[in-house]
Amino acid sequence: MINETRKLATVFGGAGFIGRTLIPHLVRDGYIVRVAGRDTERAAALKPMGTVGQIVPLYAPLSDQAAVAHAVQGAELVVNLVGILAEGRAGDFTRVHAEGPGLLAAASTRAGVRSFVHVSAIGADTRSGSGYGRSKAEGEAAVAAAFPSAVILRPSIVFGSEDQFFNRFGAMARMSPVMPVVAGKTRFQPVFVGDVADAIMAGLALAADAPRLYELGGPKVWTFRAILAFILKQTGRSRPLIAVPPSIARLQARVLERLPGKLLTTDQLKMLEHDNVVSGRYPGLQDLGITPTPVELIVPAYLSRYGDVAKQRVREGGGDRTGGDLSF
């Protein structure tokens, strides 16, 4: 049974990639953490992160107002991490990124929640040609209207051992004889998931007069092509980087977005037309007291699962020495 005298935090989407890094921070600070969302079985797998009864899975999709109200009742802190990269059906971006956060922020205000952090994305823009980008901006506006002191964080591509970015292309490098490059000149500023979790914790503790919107980017800006070249180098894979013309990319997206997994969608292509980097108009990680973590410090360790580095060293005359650094 939960001890209601202990402080409570509710994390929507907490069973996902960022949530699994954030929740141990809240646990260490002594919070009972309600992990709210659709997949309570996945949330239940997080229970070993805390003591008995400290992590509580709750079924509370953002579309269920009663369940959301129950999930935030008594909470001091609320974090929204819910997001999707592609629509399962028409209107999902609006429901998940715009309407849901607004309902959650309003419920949190009614419940007397002290601090609210909403994780959005760089690229949030009401003028975006992408439904993803527009809905993210609409969600930010809805949150700010319903919970004026809410802190909004806009990360670039988030990396970490469980990410769906470097891992996806690492797997592609292992399986495909070529590495297709779509929008190779588009720039990204990958940010470490641990830094994003630290930013959320900092956002929850901000003074009332602090800025409410932050853009989160890593210490280095990469072109998409440079990222793919880095992945190939780290995995020891020799694959030609083949530029895909926009017309062919659009045709591929129309096919792939109809398949399970939605590896590429037309909406994602529209997002790729614009750089995914901090604008410089808003404060960032350093303003929250966080030193950004380089890709080169984290990613090579988990890309090794896709690699053929040792074999390449032998081919290059490195022999089979042990104890050496197998990264490039």
> 79 pLDDT exceeds 90?
yes
Residue at 65 is within a domain? yes
Residue at 58 is within a domain? yes
150 vs 34: CA distance, rounded Å: 19
Could you tell me the pLDDT band of residue 272, with boundaries at 50, 70 and 90?
Answer: very high
- Supply the pLDDT for residue 31: 97
Q: Comparing 38-47, 123-132, 174-183, 310-319, which segment has the lowest mean pLDDT?
A: 310-319
Residues 240-249 pLDDT 10s: 999 999 999 9
CATH code of the domain covering residue 145: 3.40.50.720
Distances (CA, A) of 126 to 141, 151, 189, 221, 271: 10, 19, 21, 24, 13
Residue at 234 is within a domain? no
Q: Across the chain, what does the average pLDDT equal?
A: 91
Residue at 101 is within a domain? yes
| 42 alpha carbon, distance to own chain's centre | 17
Instruction: Give the residue carrying structure tokens 């956002």.
Output: 203
Question: Roughly what angle, to the nearest 10 degrees, separates helices 224-235 and 295-303?
Answer: 50
Tokens coding 110: 């009614």
- Supply the pLDDT for residue 186: 97
- Supply the pLDDT for residue 262: 80
Residue at 311 is within a domain? no
- Supply the pLDDT for residue 257: 85
Tokens coding 5: 């005298």
- 112 is in which domain, residue-wise? 8-149
233 vs 213: CA distance, rounded Å: 36
Residue at 33 is within a domain? yes
Number of helices followed by number of strands (H, E) in the chain: 13, 13
Torsion angles phi and psi, residue 257, rounded to 5? -75, -10
Residue at 74 is within a domain? yes
The structural domain count of the chain equals 1
Q: What is the mean pLDDT of residues 300-304?
A: 95
Instruction: Give the residue carrying structure tokens 């907490």.
Output: 14
Could you tell me the pLDDT band of residue 259, with boundaries at 50, 70 and 90?
Answer: confident
Task: Enter the pTM of the model.
Answer: 0.91
Q: Where are the alpha helices (DSSP H) in the chain?
A: 17-28, 40-44, 65-72, 92-93, 100-110, 131-146, 166-175, 193-204, 224-235, 246-256, 266-271, 295-303, 309-315
Tokens coding 320: 């089979």
- Supply the pLDDT for residue 319: 36
DSSP annotation of 233 reads: H
Which pairs count as long-range contacts for 167-175, CB under 8 Å and 24+ apart, including other chains? 167/302, 169/227, 169/228, 169/231, 170/231, 170/235, 170/303, 170/305, 170/306, 171/306, 173/231, 173/232, 173/235, 173/237, 173/239, 173/306, 174/235, 174/237, 174/306, 174/308
Residues 8-61 pLDDT 10s: 999 999 999 999 999 999 999 999 999 999 999 999 999 999 999 999 999 999
One-letter amino acid of 86: A
> 1 pLDDT exceeds 70?
no
Neighbours of 30 (CB within 10 A): 11
Q: Are 67 and 60 in contact (CB under 8 A)?
A: yes
Residue at 69 is within a domain? yes
